[in-house]
Amino acid sequence: MKLTVKDLSMEFEQKVVLKGINYTFESGKIYALLGRNGAGKTTLFNCIASDLQATTMEIELDDGVNVRNQLLQEDVGYVISTPVVPDFLTGREFLRFVLDIHKIDYTKEELDGYFDYLIIDEADRDILMKNYSHGMKNKMQMLVNIITKPSILLLDEPLTSFDVVMAEQMKQMLRDIKKDRILIFSTHIMELALDLCDEVLVLHDGYIQEVNMEDLSKDDVKTKVIEMLSEETL
């Protein structure tokens, strides 16, 4: 599967944030998106997820059989660092709701299996999610995206609230699912990008540049990324 983003620009009233993004993302790889604060990483995700109307953008999704020029809502999963879950539902009610609307059959054991997988304590499964910690809300958000299997998964700094055990488990899960999905992962943690991701992309001055990592050590890549992000303009 391939997702091609062409001529993506995004201009807010006072500021041009994205000037011309052209890139083809492929399934089987995890892409790290690095950029300075305010570079436009979230804006880029919002445009791909149609949460924002880009000023200009063309899209091509090639699943190997068909090519489409529009993304459907179910094509894109979006995990944001500040998770939004319905506070008035318990974790179990929310999960049931998600499974029901996606017409996925489940037994009580399978439902508990999802919570077990995410290491959500039995005592927490039937309390309102408004009482969940930030990390627990994030887990629920991640779980929805595991269950619904969107072709494109946008992850905006998703691991920062997870404890070390959960973060490792999530990294492994992302490696496991990358074969059939396009995964784009924004982070400020360079070690995480280099550990988890197959390609490193730098968003700077409104454009994306791929970091050629061939024959480079991790330290060399880090130096290169910092140099790229420090440039006044590309």
By CB under 6 A, name the binding residues for ligand ATP. 12, 15, 17, 35, 37-43
Taking the complex as a whole, how short is the minimal distance between the CB of residue 191 and ligand ATP, in angstroms? 17
Can you give the length of the chain in residues?
A: 234
Beta-carbon neighbour count of residue 176 at 10 Å?
Answer: 9
Taking the complex as a whole, how short is the minimal distance between the CB of residue 25 and ligand ATP, in angstroms? 18
In sequence order, the 6+-apart residues with CB closer than 8 A to the CB of 139 are 118, 119, 120, 162, 166
Taking the complex as a whole, how short is the minimal distance between the CB of residue 177 and ligand ATP, in angstroms? 24
Amino acid making up residue 136: M
Q: Cβ closer to ligand ATP: 12 or 117?
A: 12
Q: Cβ closer to ligand ATP: 173 or 190?
A: 190
Taking the complex as a whole, how short is the minimal distance between the CB of residue 50 and ligand ATP, in angstroms? 14
Give the CA-trace dihedral at 87, 188, 3, 146, to 10 degrees: -40
Q: Cβ closer to ligand ATP: 91 or 206?
A: 206
Taking the complex as a whole, how short is the minimal distance between the CB of residue 71 and ligand ATP, in angstroms? 19
Of 51, 59, 10, the C-alpha closest to 203 is 10
Q: Where are the beta strands (DSSP E) in the chain?
A: 2-11, 16-26, 30-35, 56-62, 67-68, 76-79, 152-156, 182-186, 199-204, 207-210
Q: Which two tokens stand for residue 130?
A: 């408004």
Q: Cβ closer to ligand ATP: 37 or 107?
A: 37
Q: Cβ closer to ligand ATP: 80 or 196?
A: 80
Taking the complex as a whole, how short is the minimal distance between the CB of residue 155 and ligand ATP, in angstroms? 12
Beta-carbon neighbour count of residue 33 at 10 Å?
Answer: 26
Q: Cβ closer to ligand ATP: 10 or 143?
A: 10
- Written in H, E and C, the secondary structure of 78-118 is EECCCCCCCCCCEHHHHHHHHHHHCCCCCCHHHHHHHHHHC
